[in-house]
C-alpha cells in the first residue's frame, strides 16, 4: 500500500506571509483579525476580518510575477503559497506533478470590481476569463511550472480539505507520485455581503466554542502542501512533516447552510477518517476544529465530537479567531496548523474563549499548551450543502522505513454505466427515442427543453431552485430510476461555471443596491456544490459528495474520482453528473471575448459557421456507475485523461496515442471518435488536424450542434456514447465522416477548450 | 390591520417566490414555519430583509424572527407596534 506524506508547506494568511510567521503568531497568540483596510466595501467600519495587509501590487511583488498579466487576488495568494511549498520540498516540477486546488468564489475579487462596466469597458474584458474557479489553479500551474493533472474542487468551506484528500488518493492509487494540494480564497464583497445576509457575521472578534459567540469573522489566504509517496520521500532523505493517514467526506443531508441537530455529517466525516487511518478515537492527540464561531456550527460540531470521543475528548481548538474563516482555503490553512501541532507537540489556543457552550460544556485549549505525546491530529472542515470533511495527519515513526509493506497488485476493476439521465436542448429525457427528432433553432444560444419539473420536484422546494439545480435533480433522478438505485454510495458532480443564475442575481443586486438590503437565497444557491448538496438533501444521503469546478476538466475530474472510489471499494455505485447553465448575461459577457458567437446561427449549421466563438449551450447529464454489470448496462468506462496547454499539435497526438495504447488498444480498435467541434473558426482546426492525422480511417461524429458549447458538455457526449454502445446505432444527425460497418465496441471522446484544457474519455461495450 | 395583512400576503408571496400560492391560501393565524406554510430558516432571513425594505424595521438578532414571524397576524402586529 502506498503511504502519502507531506514534504513541503507554503502558507499566507492574516497571521503571516509564510510558515515561520504563521507559527510565531500562533505561539505568541497574535490574531490577524482587525479592521478592513484593503477591501473596498461600505461595511468597512462594520465588520472585523482576517485580512492580509498587502495591496494588489504588493502581492504581485511578493508573488514574483509579471505586472502586465491579469491577476486576481485569489491567484496571487495561491501562487505565493504554492511557490513556497514547492521550494520547501525541493521537488522537481518537471516530474509530472499534479495540482489539486480549491476555491469558493475564484476570481470574484476582481469580477465584482468590474462587473458593472464589464460589457461597456473593453479595458475590463481581460477579467472575464479570470472569474471561473479553475483560473487560479491554472495560474499556479503555469507560474510554478507544474505539468501533471490539474483540477479544482469547490465545495464551499470544506473545499481545500477535500483537495488534500483527493491529492492523497491520487497518489495512493498510483495515478501520480507527487501532488501539490491546497486552496486559495481572497476576501470579497460578494462573500462578506453573502455571509451578512445569513446574519452569521460577528461584529466583534469571533469566539469559537464560547457561549457568547455571535458568528464568524471572514478571512482570506492560501496554503499548499506537497504530497509524495512515503517510501521515496524517506529514501531520498527528505524532511517529512507528517503522513496523511486518514481522510473522509460525508454529507450532513440536513439543510443547505445549517448543520443537523446531532451533527451527523461531521460525526461521519471524523469517524470515517479515523477508520481510513486505522486508529481509534483515543489515538487522536489534538483536533483542529472547524469552529467558525457561529451558534449552529460550534454547537453541532461539539456534539459530534462528544458522540465520537465520549468522555475522553482530546485537546481541541479552533484557530479561526487567529486567521478568520478563509472559506475555500480554511481546510488547508488549518491542516498546516494541525501539522505544526504534530511537529512541535503543542496545541495552539482557541483564543477569545471564556465560557463553555451551555448545552455541551466542552472546553477547548485556551492557551499554548505543550502536549506530551502527539502521534495523530485531526482537522475538520464543514461547508454549505452539508459538505463535511475530516483529515488525520500522523507522525512518521522511526521504524516506518523498515516496515515491509505488502505489494498489492492493483486490480483494475471494471466500471460500468448502469443508468443514465440527460436534460439537454434535445429530447433526451425519454428512453424510447434517441436523437431522432432534432430541435432545430436559429438562436444565439441553445437552451434546454424544459421538463415538467413538478413531476420530479416538490413545488415547495422548486421555488428556490434555479435552472441548473432543477435540471440537475431531474437528470439525476432519471439516471437513478434507470439504474434502479435509490441512494447511491457517492455523489460526484462537475460544473464549469456553477450556478450562474444565482451568482448573477446576488452580484447584480449587490452592485445595484450598493451592498444594502440583500437577501440570502441567491447567495446560498450560488455555491458551486448546490446541485450535489440538493440531491443529497433530497435523498437524505450522508455519503461522499464532491463537486469539481475546473472549466472543461470539471466533469472529467468527477469521473476520475468516481473511478478511484470504485477502485478503492469505497462505493458500489456512484451517481456522477456534469451540468452548466447559460444565461443571457453570461452569454453576452463571453461574446465580448469571442468565446461565443454573436449572431444567431441555426444549430445544424453551426459546425460550418465562420464566426469566431462557439454557440453557447447548456445541459445536465447524470450516470450511475458500478463495478457490477447489470442487464441495463450501457457501457464500460475504460479511462479518462486531462491535459493542460499542450505546446503543439504533436503533443496532443502523442497524448491521445499513449492514452489509447495504455488501455491496450490500437487506433484501429476505436470504432467511433466523438469530437467536440463547435464551429469556432479559431480552434476547430485542432480537431481537424487530429481527425486527419490520427483518425483518417475511423468513424467521426460531432455533438455540439445538439447541445451547444458548455464546460461540462462531455457529459452529454458520454450520454450519447453510452446510448450508441447500448443500441449499437449511431444517430444520423451525429455522423460526420464514415459510416457504421461493424459493431461499435470502443468509443473515444476528445474535447478541448480553446487549446487550453484537453480531455479524453474512453468507453467500451460492456 | 386587515389591510396590512393583505399587503403582507402579496409581499411574502413575491419575496419568497411562492409561485403556487394565492393570497387566500394563507390563513393569517396559521403558523408560517414548520407544519403550516412550511417556511424555513432561510425564509426567515428573507422576511427580515422584507421588514427592513418595506417597513423600515431592523431586526438585529435572527432568533427574534421566530416569534415575530410566527404567523401573518403576529407579523402585522409587530409591524404596527414598531413602525416609526
What is the DSSP secondary-structure string of A280-344? -GGG--EEE----S-HHHHHHHHHHHHHHHTT-PPPEE--HHHH-B-GGGHHHHHHHHHHHHHHH
Write out the residues of chain B at the interface with chain A, using a CB-CB cutoff of 8 A: 15-20, 38, 40-42, 45-46, 48-49, 52-53, 62
Report the sign of the C-alpha dihedral through residues A684, A685, A690, A692, in that order: positive
CA–CA separation, A29 vs A617, rounded Å? 52
CA–CA separation, A171 vs A152, rounded Å? 16
Is residue A229 within 8 A of residue A2, CB to CB? The reply is yes
CA–CA separation, A168 vs A399, rounded Å? 22
CA nearest to A221, candidates A314, A336, A112, A98: A336
pLDDT of residue B34: 82
* Nearest chain B residue to A295, by CA: B63
pLDDT band at B84 (very low <50, low <70, confident <90, very high): confident
The second-level CATH assignment, the architecture, of B2-82 is Orthogonal Bundle (1.10)
Query: Is residue A489 packed enough to be buried (19+ CB in 10 Å), middle (13-18) or exposed (0-12)?
Result: middle
Query: Is residue A122 packed enough to be buried (19+ CB in 10 Å), middle (13-18) or exposed (0-12)?
Result: exposed
Residues of B in contact with A462 (CB under 8 A): 19
Q: Which of A199, A517, A520 sits opposite B53 (nearest CB)?
A: A517
pLDDT of residue A454: 94
The cell numbers describing A708, all together, are 451547444
Residues of B in contact with A517 (CB under 8 A): 49, 52-53
Measuring CA to CA, how many Å separate A466 from each of A453, A505, A649, A677, B14?
11, 11, 40, 29, 16
Residues near A740 by Cβ (< 8 Å), separated by ≥ 6?
Answer: A699, A729, A730
With an 8 Å Cβ cutoff, are B17 and A198 in contact?
no
Distance from the A520 Cα atom to the nearest Cα atom in chain B, whole angstroms: 7
Residues near B63 by Cβ (< 8 Å), separated by ≥ 6?
Answer: none
Measuring CA to CA, how many Å separate A451 from each of A425, A474, A564, B19?
11, 8, 33, 17
| Domain spans of chain B, in order of start | 2-82
With an 8 Å Cβ cutoff, are A521 and B18 in contact?
no
pLDDT of residue A760: 97
Interface residue A199 vs chain B (CB under 8 A): yes
Q: Which of A460, A464, A520 sits opposite B45 (nearest CB)?
A: A520
H-helix or E-strand containing A416?
strand A415-423
With an 8 Å Cβ cutoff, are A520 and B19 in contact?
no
Residues near A291 by Cβ (< 8 Å), separated by ≥ 6?
Answer: A208, A209, A297, A298, A301, A317, A318, A320, A350, A364
The cell numbers describing A75, all together, are 491567484
H-helix or E-strand containing A92?
none
Is residue A309 within 8 A of residue A284, CB to CB? The reply is yes
pLDDT of residue A505: 97
Interface residue A462 vs chain B (CB under 8 A): yes
CA–CA separation, A59 vs A139, rounded Å? 14
With an 8 Å Cβ cutoff, are A520 and B16 in contact?
no
- Phi/psi-derived region of residue A673, left when phi > 0, alpha when psi is between -120 and 50, beta in every other case: beta
User: Which stretches of A14-54 are DSSP H helices?
Assistant: 19-27
With an 8 Å Cβ cutoff, are A255 and B40 in contact?
yes
With an 8 Å Cβ cutoff, are B45 and A199 in contact?
yes
Q: Which of A198, A255, A463 sits opposite B17 (nearest CB)?
A: A463
Shared fold status for A4-394 and A416-498+549-764: yes
Residues of A annotated as catalytic are: 157, 290, 325
- Inter-chain CB pairs, A–B, below 8 Å: 35
The residue to which cell 464546460 is assigned: A711
Length of chain B in terms of residues written: 84
Residues of B in contact with A464 (CB under 8 A): 17, 42
What's the maximum distance between 2 C-alpha atoms anywhere in chain B? 33
pLDDT of residue A714: 98
With an 8 Å Cβ cutoff, are B45 and A463 in contact?
no
pLDDT of residue A404: 36
Residues of chain A with pLDDT under 50: 398-411
pLDDT of residue A403: 37
| Domain spans of chain A, in order of start | 4-394, 416-498+549-764
Length of chain A in terms of residues written: 766
The cell numbers describing B35, all together, are 407544519
pLDDT of residue B38: 84
Torsion of CA A203, A206, A209, A210, to 10 degrees: -60
The residue to which cell 460492456 is assigned: A766
As assigned by CATH, the class of the A4-394 domain is alpha beta
With an 8 Å Cβ cutoff, are A199 and B17 in contact?
no
Backbone angles phi, psi at A3, to 5 degrees: -110, 150
User: Which stretches of A610-762 are DSSP H helices?
Assistant: 649-662, 684-694, 704-707, 713-727
Distance from the A335 Cα atom to the nearest Cα atom in chain B, whole angstroms: 31
pLDDT of residue A459: 85
What is the CA angle A307-A312-A313, rounded to 5?
Answer: 70
- Residue range B33-49: mean pLDDT, rounded: 89
Backbone angles phi, psi at A43, to 5 degrees: -90, 15
pTM: 0.96
Q: Where are the beta strands (DSSP E) in A594-651?
A: 601-602, 619-626, 635-644
* Nearest chain B residue to A258, by CA: B41
Interface residue A409 vs chain B (CB under 8 A): no
Is residue A58 within 8 A of residue A64, CB to CB? The reply is no
Interface residue A464 vs chain B (CB under 8 A): yes
Residues of A in contact with B38 (CB under 8 A): 460
Which CATH superfamily does the domain covering A416-498+549-764 fall into? Thiolase/Chalcone synthase (3.40.47.10)
Residues of B in contact with A255 (CB under 8 A): 40-41
With an 8 Å Cβ cutoff, are A459 and B19 in contact?
yes
Residues near A151 by Cβ (< 8 Å), separated by ≥ 6?
Answer: A99, A100, A101, A134, A137, A166, A548, A550, A553, A557, A560, A642
With an 8 Å Cβ cutoff, are A197 and B45 in contact?
yes
Amino acid at each position: 500500500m502506498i503511504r502519502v506524506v507531506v514534504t513541503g508547506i507554503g502558507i499566507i494568511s492574516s497571521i503571516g506571509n509564510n510558515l515561520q510567521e504563521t507559527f510565531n503568531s500562533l505561539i505568541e497568540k497574535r490574531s490577524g483579525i482587525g479592521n478592513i483596510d484593503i477591501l473596498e466595501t461600505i461595511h468597512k467600519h462594520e465588520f472585523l476580518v482576517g485580512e492580509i495587509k498587502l495591496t494588489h501590487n504588493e502581492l504581485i511583488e511578493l508573488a514574483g510575477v509579471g505586472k502586465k498579466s491579469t491577476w486576481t487576488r485569489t491567484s496571487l495568494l495561491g501562487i505565493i503559497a504554492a511557490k513556497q511549498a514547492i521550494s520547501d520540498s525541493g521537488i522537481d516540477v518537471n516530474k509530472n506533478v499534479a495540482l489539486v486546488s480549491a476555491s469558493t468564489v475564484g476570481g470574484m475579487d476582481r469580477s465584482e470590481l468590474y462587473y458593472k462596466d464589464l460589457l461597456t469597458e473593453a479595458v475590463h474584458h481581460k477579467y472575464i476569463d479570470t472569474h471561473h474557479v479553475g483560473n487560479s489553479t491554472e495560474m499556479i500551474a503555469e507560474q510554478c511550472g507544474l505539468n501533471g493533472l490539474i483540477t479544482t474542487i469547490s465545495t464551499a468551506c470544506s473545499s481545500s480539505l477535500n483537495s488534500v484528500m483527493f491529492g492523497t488518493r491520487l497518489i495512493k492509487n498510483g495515478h501520480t507520485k507527487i501532488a501539490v494540494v491546497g486552496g486559495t480564497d481572497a476576501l470579497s464583497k460578494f462573500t462578506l455581503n453573502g455571509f451578512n445576509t445569513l446574519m452569521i457575521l460577528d461584529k466583534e472578534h469571533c469566539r469559537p466554542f464560547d457561549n457568547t459567540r455571535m458568528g464568524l469573522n471572514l478571512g482570506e489566504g492560501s496554503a499548499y502542501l506537497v504530497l509524495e509517496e512515503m517510501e521515496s520521500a524517506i529514501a531520498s532523505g527528505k524532511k517529512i512533516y507528517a503522513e496523511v493517514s486518514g481522510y473522509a467526506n460525508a454529507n450532513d443531508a440536513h439543510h443547505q447552510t445549517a448543520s443537523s441537530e446531532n451533527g451527523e455529517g461531521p460525526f461521519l466525516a471524523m469517524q470515517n477518517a479515523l477508520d481510513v487511518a486505522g486508529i481509534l478515537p483515543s489515538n487522536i492527540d489534538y483536533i483542529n476544529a472547524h469552529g467558525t464561531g457561529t451558534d449552529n456550527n460550534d454547537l453541532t460540531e461539539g456534539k459530534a465530537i462528544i458522540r465520537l470521543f465520549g468522555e475522553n475528548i482530546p485537546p481541541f481548538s479552533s484557530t479561526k479567531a487567529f486567521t478568520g474563516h478563509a472559506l475555500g482555503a480554511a481546510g488547508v490553512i488549518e491542516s498546516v496548523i494541525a501539522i505544526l501541532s504534530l511537529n512541535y507537540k503543542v496545541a495552539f489556543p482557541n483564543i477569545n474563549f471564556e465560557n463553555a457552550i451551555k448545552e455541551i460544556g466542552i472546553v477547548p485549549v485556551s492557551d499554548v499548551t505543550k502536549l506530551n505525546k502527539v502521534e495523530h491530529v485531526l482537522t475538520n472542515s464543514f461547508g454549505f450543502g452539508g459538505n463535511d470533511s475530516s483529515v488525520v495527519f500522523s507522525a512518521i515513526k522511526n521504524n516506518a522505513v523498515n516496515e515491509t509493506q505488502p505489494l498489492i497488485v492493483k486490480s483494475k476493476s471494471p466500471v460500468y454505466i448502469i443508468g443514465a439521465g440527460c436534460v439537454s436542448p434535445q429530447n433526451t429525457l425519454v428512453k424510447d427515442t434517441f436523437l431522432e427528432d432534432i430541435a432545430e433553432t436559429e438562436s444565439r444560444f441553445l437552451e434546454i427543453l424544459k421538463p415538467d419539473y413538478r413531476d420530479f420536484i416538490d413545488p415547495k422546494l422548486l421555488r428556490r431552485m434555479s435552472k441548473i439545480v432543477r435540471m440537475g435533480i431531474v437528470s439525476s433522478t432519471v439516471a437513478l430510476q434507470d439504474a434502479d438505485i435509490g441512494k447511491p454510495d457517492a455523489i460526484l458532480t462537475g460544473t464549469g461555471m456553477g450556478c450562474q443564475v444565482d451568482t448573477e442575481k446576488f452580484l447584480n443586486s449587490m452592485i445595484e443596491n450598493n451592498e444594502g438590503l440583500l437577501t440570502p437565497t441567491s447567495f446560498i444557491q450560488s455555491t458551486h456544490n448546490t446541485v450535489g448538496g440538493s440531491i443529497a438533501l433530497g435523498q437524505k444521503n450522508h455519503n461522499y459528495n464532491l463537486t469539481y469546478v475546473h472549466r472543461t476538466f470539471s466533469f472529467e475530474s468527477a469521473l476520475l474520482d468516481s473511478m478511484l472510489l470504485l477502485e478503492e471499494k469505497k462505493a458500489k455505485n456512484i451517481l456522477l453528473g456534469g451540468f452548466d447553465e447559460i444565461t443571457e448575461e453570461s452569454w453576452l459577457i463571453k461574446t465580448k471575448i469571442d468565446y461565443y458567437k454573436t449572431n444567431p446561427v441555426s444549430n445544424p449549421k453551426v459546425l460550418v459557421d465562420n464566426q469566431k466563438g462557439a454557440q453557447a449551450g447548456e445541459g445536465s447529464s447524470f450516470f450511475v456507475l458500478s463495478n457490477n454489470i447489470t442487464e441495463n448496462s450501457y457501457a464500460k468506462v475504460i479511462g479518462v485523461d486531462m491535459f493542460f496547454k499542450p505546446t503543439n499539435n504533436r503533443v496532443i497526438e502523442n497524448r491521445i496515442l499513449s492514452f489509447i495504447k495504455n488501455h491496450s488498444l490500437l487506433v484501429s480498435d476505436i470504432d467511433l471518435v466523438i469530437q467536440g467541434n463547435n464551429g469556432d473558426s479559431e480552434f476547430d482546426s485542432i480537431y481537424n488536424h487530429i481527425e486527419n492525422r490520427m483518425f483518417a480511417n475511423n468513424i467521426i461524429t460531432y455533438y455540439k450542434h445538439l447541445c451547444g458549447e458548455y464546460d461540462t458538455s462531455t457529459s452529454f457526449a458520454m450520454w450519447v456514447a453510452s446510448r450508441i454502445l447500448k443500441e449499437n446505432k449511431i444517430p444520423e444527425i451525429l455522423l460526420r465522416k464514415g459510416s457504421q460497418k461493424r459493431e461499435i465496441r470502443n468509443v473515444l471522446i476528445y474535447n478541448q477548450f480553446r487549446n487550453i484544457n484537453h480531455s479524453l474519455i474512453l468507453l467500451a461495450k460492456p | 390591520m386587515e389591510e396590512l395583512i393583505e399587503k403582507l400576503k402579496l409581499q411574502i408571496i413575491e419575496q419568497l417566490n411562492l409561485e403556487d400560492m394565492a393570497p387566500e391560501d394563507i390563513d393569517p393565524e396559521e403558523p408560517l414555519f414548520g407544519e403550516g406554510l412550511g417556511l424555513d430558516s432561510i425564509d426567515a432571513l428573507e422576511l427580515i430583509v422584507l421588514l427592513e425594505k418595506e417597513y423600515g424595521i431592523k431586526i438585529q438578532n435572527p432568533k427574534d424572527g421566530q416569534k415575530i414571524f410566527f404567523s401573518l397576524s403576529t407579523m402585522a402586529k409587530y409591524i404596527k407596534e414598531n413602525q416609526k
